[in-house]
Structure 1
Amino acid sequence: MTDFDDDEQLVNELGLTARGIQLAKQEGRVFLRFTGSVQLDGLRIPYDLVPQQGVLAKPSKWRKLEREGRAALLLERGSEAAHAALHADVEAFAADLREECDDYGMKPMDFLHALEDMQSSEPAGQVFDRIRQRLEHAVERHREERHAERTRQSINLAEYPDTFEVARRLPRKFIAYLGPTNSGKTHKAMEALAKARSGVYLAPLRLLALENYERLQAADPDLKVSLVTGEERRIEEGATHIASTVEMLDTRTPVEVAVIDEIQMLSDRDRGAAWTAAVCGAPARTVYLVGAAEARRAVEALAERLECEIEVHILKRKAPLSMEPSAVRKLKSLRKGDAVIAFSRRDVLMWRDMVTEAGLSVATVYGNLSPEVRRAQAQRFRDGQADVVVGTDAIAMGLNLPIQRVVMTTTVKYNGVEEEEIPAALARQIAGRAGRYGVHEEGHVAGYDDETHNVMRSLLKEKLPPLKATGFAVAPTLEHLHRIAAVTGEDSLARLLKRFVHNIDVPDGFFFPRITEEQFERAEWLDTLPLSVADKFTLSLVPVSSRVVTLQKAWEHWCVSLSRQRVTRLHAGDQPSGWMNLQEAEDACRLYSAYAWIGYRLPDYFPDVALALDMSRSASARVDSILQDQNSANRRRQQGGFGRRNGRR
């Protein structure tokens, strides 16, 4: 007879089988299982469980016990008292669980059947815990489904255009001027805006808003114009016209004309939602849509959806653009009027040094520079103080420069994740800056090396795909989040943003919810602070780079201070000046601009907006001065080396 057969016989002899007790060996344990059932409001609930003291031994130790020892242990642990105690525990647990299920509208037997079915070697208490966890998960799933359904009912993106009440009441007409760079499309739209009794210009960049603010002023000295960007506001009393960044559109004040520039930005991954909002919400009788020809299908689809008349004009480039026969290959082959393009700050400064050492004076333009510095550097190139402009693709938008030839040092750009070849649309936009109409009869494009030259030739020949005519991005507003919070009880910004993206109703996909990864990452961090949803939402949008340690720390300090209801002040004496290197001065510009941005929105806690703007301008002047000093030093080195070489001859 085997050990197991003997154990079964022993359990029978002791009368345990008749009382619903079995001996089991499982998962490295020898243990007792008690079976039975309890009655609860007419429900029969069977169980098959291990009592608290039901584990007898490990199999190796059990085998070493004599039969008498096994019998004694079985009688001790399988006593009627032990069985009665387990029965009472099951009754109490079932009653508690039934009550919890009633609270949540669930059926208790959906969970209590596990008392018989789980077949675990764990003691009953652990089985009870597992069943409670199942209930908690089911409740969470039920709550999630209920909240998801309530979120769907609270926001229907098909009705998104109706949220712009003023625009919906106006009889709006769209006029699209679409075409390549140097086709005069912006000029036509701005002429119409300057002649209108009231209007707004919407730009993708502060720099463009500033340029067209001054352009409107120059068009008519009697025209009253305000400048409104996230970081700066120049408010003219009684202004009839506003030059603004697209995110700052006032959708409540009707005007005669609106100009939305760079309309192809509708497809931009991070900022496209601002253009969707502008097209849907611009409160103007005539809305000019200005941008690349590839946006035609998209703007026509939007006009149809918004039930607005649309008139499309496709413009051609005024000055021809052509590839040079061959690559530049040598620094000495660069000439006055060239724009040398790289795609990182480091590479721009490296090429700047090489070009100046080759004997040409340089203006420098890249994204990290403030608009004021970019303007100052561009003006030097316009005035002829600089022979060449060395820059990133920042020159492709917002700077009108007298470039005769664009020279690409590379066609590879870091996209935030990895380096990849630039899209044909960007290649064309950069190249299009060559041959400014009225300055040069023709524009030229070249690669610095043979490979870059050949890639650019191919990119400029590539047919650009049209923008999608559906799936237009919509970013959450504070009103959206408050609606979701009202129906779900959520106060976590990260969860509210996730619900906006995943749970709102998107009936036909024409409009689609979108948030940026950076905003969501910030939201998770902000949820650790005692802040209102409104304050967290505002802080999640502060335009400051999380990749720059000093700027990220400053942002975190502002957030913590606000959570403690402390006022964050600036002091003029805090700003370093003479000892700041280029990187520090650039970061200072961005820091003070970001303070101004948040100060406009939370003035009680960030009251020093005027000082922040002064400090930003001072830091910008420092950047410009450093760039000029470095350019001069490079040229002196070049001239000194040239003189020494002549002397040796």
Structure 2
Amino acid sequence: MSDSTIKAVLGPTNTGKTHLAIERMCGHSSGMMGFPLRLLAREVYDRVRAIKGDKAVALITGEERIEPPDARYFCCTAEAMDRLGAGKDGPHAFVALDEAQIGADPERGHIFTDRLLNARGREETMILGSTTLEPLVRKLIPRAEMVERPRFSTLSHAGSCKLSRLPPRSAVVAFGTDQVYAMAEALRRFRGGAAVVMGALSPETRNKQVELFQNGEVDYIVATDAIGMGLNLDLHHVAFAGLSKFDGKRKRRLTPAEMGQIAGRAGRHQRDGTFGALSGMRDGKGTPAEFTDEEIYAIEEHRFAPLTHLFWREAEPRFDNLATLIADLEMKPDEPELRPAPEAIDLAVLKRLSEDPIADSVKGAGSVRRFWEACSLPDFRSVGAGVHASFVKRLWQDLREGYLGADFVAARIAELDRMQGDIDTLQGRIAAIRTWAYICQRPDWVLARDEMFARARAVEAKLSDALHARLTERFVNRRTSLLMKSLGQDGSALPVELAPDGTLTVDGELIGRLDGFRFAVAPDATVADRKMLLAAGEKALPALLAQRAQWLAGDGIGELTIGNGAILWGEHKLATIELSDDFGTARIAFVRELSALPEASRLSFEAALQNWLDIRLEPLEPLRKLAAAAQDPAAGSEARALLHTVIAGHGVVTREDAGLQHLPKEMRPFLRKLGVVFGALDIFAHALLKPAPRQLLHALGVDKQPLNEAMLPVLKDVKQAPAGYRPAGSQMIRVDLAEKIVRAAFDARAKATPEGGKPPKRFFFDTALPISIGLEADNVLRLLGSAGFKRFAAPALAEGVSGPATPDSWNWRPRRPGGNPQRRTQHNRGEQGKRGKRSSNQGKPQVRSAQPPRKPAHEPARASGAFDALRDLLG
């Protein structure tokens, strides 16, 4: 391959290096690219697959292997790529290594250094990395062609900024899990949430979190410094929550090159980016986390101190025995630009187990190689060399005898197939299942390898989904995030949906509910979210309220009712009703919530409600006639005064309170034509005693008396007389029926009066009518007693005499002013109970009703209004 070209394409971030390498690889007949992250390898795999087709492209990582039989293009992690850049048919035409400067990393650097020195394409080789790598490439690969690419966009320092004021599309870089979680929690409160990217997450979870940010569901991402390792994000700003990190040995300040690698993720292609620190943050020593002027200059100008060395470890050690293997792995390089790699965890495990009795079983080159492969199992669980060595020891005990049994591996996978638990629990299970996925993809470790690998990958995918859901649930308030992006839009464009039960949602997220025409914020909203939710609701309210008002004015008009002096929709008050004094007109006043209606909708809705109200008020037409007559000067002052009294009583007034003594008799026909009935006990408008007007008066709040909606003839067990009723002993009777009973009594008296003669002192009256209406016998006496009637009990039949009993007789005497009708009838109630005591006075009628109180001798007797009542009843 001496004729192949080697190009070192160096430059800062956002220079299109990876894009150039993809184009070059697709121009060759075959190719292989190595990447620092499985996530980046997967991204490039999808891009190349879209160009070359599924059958031509392979993805090979430590935990995943998608390799079609005819694959010609390979996207790999650096550890998984062939160290020489070769495939099963020999060297690939094109080979590229991305982020080659990672060769200076103490932990993984020796892998990248080996690929940089040895992986070569048959026709072309590309080394992609930072400009800090240039001096080392010139010395280690003298014939390499140096290609420096400028950054497409400008990167500038934006100063410090509070977390609550970060611009959208920002990344917060934190160091340590606790700080990542704290930043994400704060962004959830301030900005609706953030995606989370950490090295401890599984690649699938990181993919989903990155997608959450890339799709715009959240505008912020919180990440560790892993964000600088080739992750292509649509970032505008990178904010550092700290400038120091623990590198495995000590806590130190980031180098300017490391700062630039992270900050350079801001800006994409031609769009400029910014970086800065979060104000108020401090480093480990208590100093403010602020960039120095030198660091700002270096980052903005992409001028960093060149790398002075790369870490190296023998990539092809000898496997004669464990001692030889360890010696080769600890061998020092010959080149001054290379330094021996610090002891990695695989070497640490190997050295520990080489001192264990289990090492006695490792004999021969094949066994030593297999033992080294077991020790190279990645520590996905991050448990350290000691605990990890114990796991490898147990693994080797099984591998020493051949293969791991399928049943054993399936049982271990099934133990991890549980989606319950918090974030840390799921991360632990994912680390464990990644270990088993790595074991299962080895070609000579597990029986039924393909099936076991598929099971492990399926469980990892399920756990990754569960972890993504937990992270999103904890660190993303999707509702707030959606609203923050929507509030700047036109209110009519806000994607608010109104459900049949009144709930309001934005893209499926509950923001509140519409109770009638009143918007209420979702009850689970925090104090910080309430203002935003109210703003979102108010933006969408005009259109929603107009839609609701249009439906109510049409199909929903039947759901409206009147109550408490207002128009109601269910339990929701729409408008108050203001009646005029003459009941001729009614004006409606909308509640405050309807002020959000657009003007045109409000006027249309008001007209519809007014028309509906006018129809509903038709039962009050008799009252309107009375009110109109009360305003007519031709009616005379006395008639108008009586009409006002009847109107004030909402159609009913007792005779004593009517002031009939002032009404000329010639005015009564005029009033009767208006529907006024002059009864012995009450003056009333008969049309207003029907259920419809009584219910309407009560619903309008005009009549505050209790209401019997059905206006039943007689009520029992009622303490206060409802509107349109009068007391009758222990019962209440409707005033028109009370008048009917009293009229029947007067008719009976009139029939007993000889033509042209005087009315008899006593007459017979059948109480079948009041009893048929529902009055009890005692209460009949109380009602008739209030009209001046007294009952005289008939004598009982003599002993031994048979036949019908003599009916009781009645007498009527006009009530005197000041008389107490209730007291006059008290004796009547107990009269029947005393009948048994009359045997000694048979034949002598006993008066059991109280006599009206006598006037004092010095007070002249006055005629009672009962004569007028009798005259009214008899016409």
TM-score normalised to the size of structure 2? 0.49
Count of residue pairs the alignment pairs up: 460
* 2:466 pairs with one of 612, 622, 647: 622
Match of 1:272 in 2: 109
Change (3 A) 1:576 1:173: same
Alignment of 1:93-492 (within 5 A): 169-221=1-53, 224-250=56-82, 251=84, 252=86, 253-284=90-121, 285-304=123-142, 309-324=143-158, 326-328=159-161, 330-438=162-270, 440-449=271-280, 454-455=290-291, 457-462=293-298, 463-468=303-308, 473-477=312-316, 480-482=317-319, 485=320, 491=321
* 2:372 pairs with one of 522, 532, 537: 537
Bigger Rg over Cα? 2
- Structure 1 contact 327–453 (Cα < 8 Å) conserved: no
Change (3 A) 1:266 1:643: closer
Change (3 A) 1:557 1:357: farther
- Structure 1 contact 206–371 (Cα < 8 Å) conserved: yes
Verify: 1:585 aligned to 2:426, yes or no. yes
Distance 1:274 1:506 in 2: 14
Distance 2:344 2:440 in 1: 24
Alignment of 1:562-577 (within 5 A): 562-563=399-400, 567=405, 568-571=408-411, 573-577=414-418
Change (3 A) 1:546 1:238: closer
Change (3 A) 1:341 1:639: farther
**SS of 1:591's equivalent?**
helix
- Structure 1 contact 207–398 (Cα < 8 Å) conserved: no
Structure 1, unmatched stretches of 5+, are: 1-168, 486-490
1:501 deviates by: 5.0
Amino acid at match of 1:179: G
- Structure 2 contact 171–222 (Cα < 8 Å) conserved: yes
**SS of 2:196's equivalent?**
strand
Distance 2:401 2:219 in 1: 53
**SS of 2:318's equivalent?**
helix
Amino acid at match of 2:291: V
**SS of 2:69's equivalent?**
coil
1:560 deviates by: 3.7
1:545 deviates by: 4.4
1:302 deviates by: 2.1
- Structure 2 contact 96–127 (Cα < 8 Å) conserved: yes
- CA offsets per residue over residues 111-141 of structure 1, 9 Å max, x none? xxxxxxxxxxxxxxxxxxxxxxxxxxxxxxx
Distance 2:446 2:377 in 1: 15
- CA offsets per residue over residues 297-339 of structure 1, 9 Å max, x none? 11122222xxxx3221111111111111x311x3321231111
Distance 2:249 2:182 in 1: 23
- Structure 1 contact 526–536 (Cα < 8 Å) conserved: no
Change (3 A) 1:541 1:263: same
Match of 1:73 in 2: none
- CA offsets per residue over residues 541-560 of structure 1, 9 Å max, x none? 11114643887765453234
- Structure 2 contact 349–389 (Cα < 8 Å) conserved: no
**SS of 1:395's equivalent?**
helix
* 1:558 pairs with one of 359, 380, 395: 395
- Structure 2 contact 205–467 (Cα < 8 Å) conserved: yes
1:472 deviates by: 5.4
| RMSD between superposed Cα atoms in Å | 2.9
**SS of 1:410's equivalent?**
coil
1:583 deviates by: 1.4
Distance 2:470 2:66 in 1: 28
- CA offsets per residue over residues 26-50 of structure 1, 9 Å max, x none? xxxxxxxxxxxxxxxxxxxxxxxxx
TM-score normalised to the size of structure 1? 0.65
Change (3 A) 1:632 1:428: closer
Change (3 A) 1:646 1:287: closer
1:295 deviates by: 0.7
Match of 1:496 in 2: 324
Match of 1:642 in 2: 528
- Structure 1 contact 170–283 (Cα < 8 Å) conserved: no
Match of 1:57 in 2: none
Aligned-pair identity (%): 25
Change (3 A) 1:235 1:452: farther
Distance 1:430 1:534 in 2: 38
Distance 1:372 1:472 in 2: 30
1:226 deviates by: 0.3
- Structure 2 contact 378–435 (Cα < 8 Å) conserved: yes
Distance 2:30 2:292 in 1: 43
Change (3 A) 1:445 1:546: same
1:520 deviates by: 3.0
Structure 2, unmatched stretches of 5+, are: 282-286, 481-522, 534-875
**SS of 2:34's equivalent?**
strand
Report which of the two has the higher share of helix: 1
- CA offsets per residue over residues 506-565 of structure 1, 9 Å max, x none? 555465554624223211332222343223211221111464388776545323433465
Distance 2:193 2:394 in 1: 41
Distance 1:381 1:506 in 2: 44
Verify: 1:521 aligned to 2:337, yes or no. no
1:270 deviates by: 2.3
